[in-house]
């Protein structure tokens, strides 16, 4: 285990099981449709590439890059659009894939953007949901885990851009922050 990690919240096996469960449900729900699956960079990169392997449907993928934490542990409240989609979403069935929903600001921003661009339907699949963190109203349709109000890293999620490559989700040792 990485030396900066205090405890593992969701192991590789836990995550694989969640992807299987969600992928099976999504396969059923999108039967006969060709959704556009949008990966919200950078945090959702690992989850998106795993969960789509558990979806037996025709789908297209695209990427959008937004950021509001700027590497830290608290939302700045301002969403910056760093990279836009390549695809025209008008009339499309959209599946947004996120790693975590916390304050809800990122999701709200993306849903407003997609509605504005005339998407036909918008559903949200997130690996983790932290309902205790909500500042604005935002709801996911597919949730892997409900997480306690702790700052988590790994499996796509960063602290100061590190730890994204860990294959599990965990909590950092307090010393990692206090060494700053």
Are 156 and 164 within 8 A, CB to CB? yes
Within 10 Å of residue 128's Cβ, how many Cβ atoms? 24
Interaction of residue 49 with ligand PRP, rule CB under 6 A: no
Pairing mode, strands 93-101 and 36-41: parallel
Q: How many residues bind Mg ion (CB under 5 A)?
A: 2
Which span sits near ligand PRP by CB under 6 A: 24-32, 50-58, 101-109, 146-154?
A: 101-109
Q: Give the per-residue contact string, 47-86, with Mg ion (x = CB under 5 A; - = no).
A: ----------------------x-----------------
User: Binding mask 74-113 vs Mn ion (x if CB under 5 A, - otherwise)?
Assistant: ----------------------------------------
Please list every residue from 12 through 71 that binds Mn ion, using CB under 5 A. 43
Tokens of 83: 């990279």
| Cβ-based nearer residue to ligand PRP, 67 or 120 | 67
- 139 vs 125: CA distance, rounded Å: 10
d(CA 17, CA 19): 5
Among 23, 35, 55, 102, binds ligand PRP (CB under 6 A): 102
Residue 164, classed as helix, strand or coil, is coil
With binding defined as CB under 5 A, does residue 156 bind Mn ion?
A: no
Q: Give the CA count within 13 Å in the CB-facing half-sphere of 24.
A: 6
Selected from 51, 101, 127, 147, the binder of ligand PRP by CB under 6 A is: 101
170 binds Mn ion (CB under 5 A): no
Of positions 10, 30, 47, 69, contacts ligand PRP by CB under 6 A: 69
Q: Are 117 and 150 in contact (CB under 8 A)?
A: no
Q: Does the footprint of ligand PRP cover residue 40 (CB under 6 A)? A: yes
Q: Which of 102, 112, 129, 179 is catalytic?
A: 102
Burial class (CB in 10 A: 0-12, 13-18, 19+), 112: exposed
């Amino acid at each position: 285990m990485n030396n900066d990690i205090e405890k593992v919240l969701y192991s590789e096996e836990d995550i694989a099981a969640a992807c299987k469960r969600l992928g099976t449900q999504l396969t059923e729900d999108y039967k006969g449709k060709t959704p556009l699956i949008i990966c919200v960079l950078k945090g959702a990169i690992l989850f998106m590439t795993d969960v789509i392997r558990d979806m037996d449907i025709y789908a297209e993928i695209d990427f959008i890059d937004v950021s509001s934490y700027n590497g830290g542990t608290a939302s700045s409240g301002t969403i910056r659009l760093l990279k836009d989609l390549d695809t025209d979403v008008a009339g499309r069935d959209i599946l947004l894939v996120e790693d975590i929903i916390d304050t809800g600001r990122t999701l709200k921003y993306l849903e407003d953007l997609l509605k504005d661009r005339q998407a036909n339907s918008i559903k949200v699949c997130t690996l983790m949901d932290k309902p205790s963190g909500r500042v604005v109203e935002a709801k996911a349709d597919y949730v892997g885990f409900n997480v306690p109000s702790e700052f988590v890293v790994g499996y796509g999620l960063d602290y100061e851009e590190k730890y994204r490559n860990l294959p599990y989700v965990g909590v950092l040792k307090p010393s990692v922050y206090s060494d700053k």
